[in-house]
Structure formats: C-alpha cells, structure tokens
Amino acid sequence: MNTLRNIRIYIKHAVLLFIAIFTIETVAQNYQSKHRLVVLTDIEGDPDDSQTLVRLLLYSNQIEIEGLIATTSIHQKTRVAPESIHKIIDAYGNVQPNLLKHELGFPSAEKLTGMVKQGLPVFGMEGVGEGKDSEGSQWIIKILEKDDERPVWVSVWGGTNTLAHALWKIKETKSKIEAKKLISKLRIYTISDQDDTGIWIRKNFPELFYIVSIGHYEDATWKAINSVVEGINNDVISNEWLAENIQQGNGALGVEYPDVAYGMEGDTPSWLMLVQNGLNNEAIPNWGSWGARYEFYNPEPFKEPLFYIFRGGAEYEPESRSIWTNVNDTFTPRIPNAYGVVMQKDTLTVTNNHVTLWRWRDDFQNDFAARMSWCTGLFEEVNHPPVPALGHPENFTVKSGETFSLDASGTTDPDGDSLTYWWFQYLEVGSYNKPISFCMLSENLYNIHTIVAPTVENQKRLILF
C-alpha cells in the first residue's frame, strides 16, 4: 500500500473590476450526476482499444455507459468485432462484486452487455446514406431521444461512420426543431480522423461540439499518453509497469489487458475528461483535464496531405469551421527532493500540445493501478483516492493587490495514508498571464498564507486558474 498520496486541488479564480473570486471544485463522492457516454470502437484493429475498454470499465461507476458500438476504421475496413467487447465485459463480470467493496455504482455485466451494438462492416462514407441503418446508428438515435437533458458524450476510438449515419438519419427524418434538439445534446471527441466521415460531419453539422486532433498521429495531443518524453520519468507507461500493476495478479480483467503492439491506450484520452476528479469542466475543454486541453479555433490548412491516408485516401479538405483542437501548455514538473521541502522544480521546462496531457500522466496511471487492484483486493489491502476538503468557504472575495490564504485542512485519506499537497497556478487557462506571488512560501503546504492577488489597473476582467 502506498504511504504517500498526491492530491491536487483545482483553484478557479477571477478578477472582475478589482475583485477576485476563488472557488475550489471538489470531487463528487456519490457520482450522482454521471456523464452519459457512448463509445465507438474499432476493437481488434489494434490492441489499444481492448486496453482502453479495460480501463473504462474500472470507471463505469463514475460514467454512465450507454453504448459500446463496434465499428470499422482505416485500420480495419471490412470487419466489426462486438465479440471482443463481450469477452472483456465477461471478465469484468468476474470482478464486479469485488469492485463494489471499494466504491458503489459499478453496473452489472448483464447491463453492460445490453449496451453492446455494432455498425456496418464497411469503410467510411460507404456506411452513410439511404439504406445504411445499423443497430449501432439506431442505438445512438435512441439514446439521444431519451427523456434526459444531460449531454451525450461520444468517444470515438476508430472511424465515425456509424455516428455520421445517425446524424444523416436525424437530419433526413426529423423536423428541423427536433433535429436541432437532438444534435445539441452531442459532445464528440474523436481520436484523430480514422475514416473520411469526420470531415463530412464537421462540414455538414457546423454547430456540433467536436474535439479532434487533425493530421499526423504523432502530432496529435492524445499521443502524449504513450509517448516517451525526454527528461522525465516514463516508468508508468513501460511494459514492466503495465505487467506488474495492470496485467498480472489482478484477476480476470487484468488478464484481458493485452500487450502493447503500437502504442499504449491511444484511445483513452477521449473519455478521461469525464472522470470526476474535481479537476475540470468537461464542457470547457480549454480548462484542461486528464484528457488534455484544447482551444476552439479554425486550424491552419494541413500542409502534409500524405498523412490523410488515415482518412482512407479521401481528398484533403481544410476545416470549414472552428473545432476544439491542439493547444500548447508550458510546464515544469515537480520532482522529489532528497532533503528539506519535499518537492522541487525540475530543470526541464517543456512547451507543446503534448504537455497538456502528459502533465497528468503519473496521476491517471497511478489511479488506474489503484482501481485495478480493487478487482481482487480487500478494502484495507489496497489504495483509494483522498477526499479533498477546504478550511474556508468555497467562495470568497479578495480585492486587487490584497493578500489571501488557501487552506485544504480537513482533507482526508480513506486508507489513513499521509498526504502531499501541491498548489499551482494554471497560467494558460486564465487571461492573466503572470505568476501569482506565493511570497516564497512552499507550494506543498496544506495551508498557504500571504498569497498576493494581482494588482489590476483597469476595468478589464481577468480570469485566473
């Protein structure tokens, strides 16, 4: 059992007419307002889909899975493999009773089995249009028609043609008012474009909420989940780490986590922002999350059409409108310090779009390992996430230039382990691009005094995180 737990409390604050408002977003322990999720997966096109599904099922008590749809992609054009989804769900069923000893709300394997559907075993636009209905496309429409006002997140791990046909069918068969209502519920996150329907969707449904990294996979934000970053510790994505913490000794579900063939879990970032860890607002992708950070803009035309081979050789088209896509962070990791203050700044500072994801990698990998241990371990034998709390109101006001304090007293760990704290300012998320002074106080104190609010000399509204 780990004796040291890291906790990061997310601080959102704003300066408005010389006034700063600070709030803490804490983790909802009961997950009463779960995010709705539909998955489109080209499972068997690459082992990473199976890896991602194993991880997703360990968060199925936090996320309301409403569809697991087997699809095609450029990597698997004429086959869908729902049987592989069923196999992993069956393994989950073997460990689900033990998972319930650690947190409530894990659905039965039988319930998840009823969510498994399939799209047509054809590639891209061949599966869109008159006579192209599938149980997968019909299921998407059925979910959107439910009497439930919560958004429906569609996490796409392969091609998007099953979603594209559902949108085509809605447009062709519903009134404009009804179609608009249904489409407005959708939140799409695709792992790049893996057939030629992604650009068609964005062009024909310009109002659709859409997150995607266009172009070469190596440049995509999601690639940071499995990229070896020079200068940092990459142990948590090593084959040795995966074998020790995920695959071996964790029961039937760990057995179903395959070895890495191309890259570990390239699809996982498409739903990590839905994990209720108190870090992010999933509806605002530029706030940042375990699933990375994105900005809303129309990207420059792609200069290397060669890599649009992933769209099946379809003719390249520049984006016709703004989408949520790649953006840079500048990040300096904190590393252990042998003496004195427990953490120190690394000598490494990196600026690129991969930073927006790998800055959280140690955290979500360690959380994954802890949850995997729940499959077989007793509560007192394994690790659980800490419960953050505040020693002051969630909302308080600070005038421009005044000092204030932040206090996480009352934070507890279910396992009785010691806690390490790290307070930080997320510069890229706010409109105030200068550091807030901690007055030389250590970032790892549970309560920090004499932080200085920025001096504001005009009426401009500033948003800081």
Spans of all domains in the chain: 1-27+401-465, 35-325
- How many residues in total does the chain contain? 465
Q: How confident is the model at residue 11 (pLDDT cuts 50, 70, 90)?
A: very low
Q: Lowest-pLDDT range, 44-58, 349-363, 419-433?
A: 419-433
Please count the other Cβ atoms lying within 10 Å of the Cβ belonging to residue 346.
14
Pairing mode, strands 447-452 and 116-118 = unpaired
Q: Report the C-alpha dihedral over residues 366, 368, 374, 379, rounded to 10 degrees.
A: 40
272-284 tens-digit pLDDT: 999 988 776 788 8
Query: b or e along 304-314 (b: 16 or more beta carbons within 10 Å of the residue's beta carbon)?
Result: eeebbebbbeb
At 64, the pLDDT band (50, 70, 90 cuts) reads: very high
- Tell me the pLDDT band of 360, cut-offs 50, 70 and 90: very high
pTM for the predicted model, two decimal places: 0.90
Q: What topology does CATH give the domain 1-27+401-465?
A: Immunoglobulin-like (2.60.40)
Least Cα distance to 47 among 219, 251, 263, 233 occurs for: 263
Q: Token pair for residue 277?
A: 């860890």
Identical fold for domains 1-27+401-465 and 35-325, yes or no, is: no
For the segment 312-336, what is each residue's pLDDT rounded down to a tens digit? 667 778 899 999 999 999 999 988 8
Q: What is the pLDDT of residue 5?
A: 36
pLDDT of residue 138: 98
Judged against a pLDDT cut of 70, whether residue 3 lies above it is answered with no
Beta carbons within 10 angstroms of residue 355's beta carbon: 24
Q: Is 359 helix (H, G, I), strand (E, B) or coil?
A: coil
Stretch 336-357: mean pLDDT: 90
Q: Per-residue confidence at 309, pLDDT binned at 50, 70, 90?
A: low
- The yes or no reply on domain 35-325 and CATH 3.90.245.10 is yes
Question: What mean pLDDT comes out for the span 103-110?
Answer: 97
CA distance 438 to 449: 8
Mean pLDDT of the chain: 87
Q: Using the structure block, give the residue that is written with the tokens 């994105």.
A: 294
Average the pLDDT over 6-26 and give the result. 31
